[in-house]
C-alpha cells in the first residue's frame, strides 16, 4: 500500500493579516471552532492514517512546541523543525526532508482547512493511482489569487501558473495547498534558485518535477475549503464548523 503515514506541516507564519487574534501567538495557534488551526490539520491527517507529523516552525516557535506537548493527537507523533530565517516554502519543506522516513509524504499548511473526510479520500486515491505527486485543487471563479492548475481528463497536470493576471486563466482550478509527494520531488527542492521575491518556492520545485517528466496528478476537492488569512476567513470557517456540528447525525 502507498497510503502516506507521515506529513510535513508548514507553520512558520505570523498571521499579521488576522489582526488582534494573532497578536500574541503564531498563526498556527489561532483558534477556529474552539481548536487551533494546526490541530484541525493534525487530527484530520490522523483520521487519514498519518502517524507522524513534522511541523516547520519559526515565528514564536516555542509556543507551538509547548502546545504540541500539551495537546497530543492520539496515535500520532509530532516533532518540529526550525526555519530560523524563513526564505520560502521550498526551503521549509527541504528542512523537513531529513526527518522523514521512506515513502510518500503529505505536504500542507497549518492555515489550510479542508473538509476532514477529504484527506482520507485523497490518500485512497493516491494509493489507487500511485504517481510522483498528487496535487489537491479547488474550483474558484478565477484563480488569480493563488495558482492556476491545468490538467488533462486523466487528471495529469500539464501546467501550473502562479498568481496569474486576473481574468487571464482558462481554468477555474486553483491550488488548494495540500499535496502528497513521493521522494522523487526532493531533488528538485535542493536544486531551487531564489525566485523574483528572493525566496525558494515549493511551486518552482513542482514545476521542475513536471519538466523532468514527473507524473503529477490533480485531485479535485469536494466539500468546503478555506485558506485562513483574514478575519473574514475565520468567520466563514467558524460558521461552516458550527453548521456541520448542528447537522443531524444519520
Structural domains of the chain, ranges and CATH numbers in brackets: 6-246 (3.90.550.10)
State mean pLDDT over 155-169: 95
Residue 250 pLDDT more than 50?
A: no
pLDDT at position 194 is: 87
pLDDT at position 246 is: 56
State mean pLDDT over 20-25: 88
Residue 12 pLDDT more than 70?
A: yes
Ramachandran sector of residue 187 (left: φ over 0; alpha: ψ -120 to 50; beta: rest): alpha
Segment 199-210, tens digit of pLDDT: 899 999 999 999
pLDDT at position 3 is: 92
Candidates 248, 202, 15, 222; CA nearest to 96 is 202
Candidates 214, 185, 206, 213; CA nearest to 100 is 185
Segment 48-105, tens digit of pLDDT: 999 999 999 999 999 999 999 999 999 999 999 999 888 899 999 999 999 999 999 9
Amino acid at each position: 500500500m502507498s497510503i502516506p503515514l507521515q506529513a510535513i506541516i508548514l507553520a512558520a507564519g505570523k498571521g499579521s493579516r488576522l489582526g488582534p487574534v494573532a497578536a500574541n501567538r503564531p498563526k498556527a495557534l489561532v483558534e477556529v471552532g474552539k481548536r487551533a488551526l494546526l490541530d484541525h490539520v493534525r487530527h484530520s491527517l490522523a483520521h487519514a492514517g498519518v502517524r507522524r507529523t513534522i511541523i516547520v516552525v519559526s515565528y514564536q516557535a516555542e509556543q507551538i512546541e509547548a502546545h504540541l506537548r500539551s495537546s497530543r493527537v492520539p496515535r500520532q507523533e509530532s516533532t518540529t523543525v526550525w526555519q530560523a530565517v524563513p526564505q520560502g516554502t521550498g526551503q521549509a519543506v527541504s528542512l523537513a526532508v531529513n526527518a522523514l522516513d521512506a515513502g510518500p509524504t503529505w505536504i500542507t499548511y497549518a492555515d489550510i482547512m479542508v473538509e476532514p473526510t477529504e484527506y482520507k479520500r485523497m490518500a485512497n486515491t493516491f494509493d489507487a493511482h500511485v504517481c510522483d505527486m498528487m496535487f489537491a485543487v479547488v474550483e474558484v471563479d478565477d484563480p488569480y489569487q493563488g495558482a492556476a492548475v491545468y490538467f488533462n481528463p486523466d487528471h495529469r497536470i500539464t501546467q501550473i501558473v502562479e498568481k496569474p493576471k486576473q481574468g487571464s486563466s482558462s481554468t477555474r482550478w486553483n491550488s488548494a495547498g495540500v499535496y502528497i509527494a513521493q521522494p522523487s520531488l526532493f531533488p528538485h527542492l535542493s536544486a531551487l534558485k531564489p525566485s523574483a521575491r528572493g525566496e525558494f518556492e515549493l511551486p518552482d520545485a513542482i514545476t521542475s518535477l513536471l519538466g523532468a517528466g514527473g507524473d503529477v496528478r490533480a485531485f479535485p476537492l469536494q466539500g468546503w475549503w478555506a485558506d485562513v488569512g483574514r478575519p473574514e476567513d475565520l468567520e466563514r470557517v467558524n460558521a461552516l464548523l458550527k453548521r456541520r456540528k448542528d447537522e443531524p447525525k444519520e
